[in-house]
Structure 1
Amino acid sequence: MLVQLLRTLYSLTMQGLQLYRIALVVYFLLSWLPGGYQSRFGQFLIRICEPYVGFFRQFIPPIGMISLAGIVAFFALNFVGYGIDAVFRLLFNLLIQFG
């Protein structure tokens, strides 16, 4: 029962991370379109992506006209995903071993 609950939680967490990764990529691509951020969809992406990417902009200055904060934010999110995966695998192994 607990293992099934953990599997469901793991699946939902990883799917949520994947959706956020996709949202970040679309958010970055919108910067190439004139007026992309002025659309309703662009404003939605700004609300969900800018707080996360903005955190990295505080520490990573742009190089000329190019901001690397988005790339760093994307890779940091991947590392968070690897960490979550490792934690869930540890929990699964503990439950199987001692459960």
Structure 2
Amino acid sequence: MVVAAYYIMKVMDIYYYVLFASIILTWIPDIQRTIVGRILYRITEPYLGIFRRFIPAVRLGGGYMDFSPIVALFVWRVFVENGVRWLLLKALGLA
């Protein structure tokens, strides 16, 4: 069970970096039309889409700035990962 908990936390950590990469790659023009862009979009959009529905983009100058990915990363790292870690520790009898 401890090994499974370790791998669950590693997968969650990897997903955090996939989210981060997806957000960074949105700054590169035309990247979302590549195979990498489409794969990252399919992997991350179900999670990021939740935040985009509730946090509108802010108008800055001639364009818009979407702050929802920043909030999504924060929520993932602070609440989701820590919540899962706590549940795993509880299941192992360590919390």
1:36 to 6, 16, 31: 31
- The count of aligned residue pairs is 90
Q: TM-score, normalised by structure 1?
A: 0.83
Q: TM-score, normalised by structure 2?
A: 0.86
Name stretches of at least 5 consecutive residues in structure 2 with no aligned partner. none
Q: How does 1:1-99 map to 2 (within 5 A)?
A: 6-64=1-59, 65-78=64-77, 79-93=79-93
Deviations 1:23-78 (A, max 9, x none): 11110111111111111000000111111101111111111111111111111111
Q: State percent identity of aligned pairs.
A: 30
Deviations 1:4-24 (A, max 9, x none): xx2112111111111111111
Query: Secondary structure of the equivalent of 1:16?
Result: helix
Query: What letter matches 1:86 in structure 2?
Result: W
Distance 1:54 1:87 in 2: 25
Name stretches of at least 5 consecutive residues in structure 1 with no aligned partner. 1-5, 95-99
Kindly name which structure, 1 or 2, has the bigger radius of gyration based on alpha carbons: 1
Moved over 6 A (4+): none
Distance 1:60 1:50 in 2: 15
Query: What letter matches 1:88 in structure 2?
Result: L
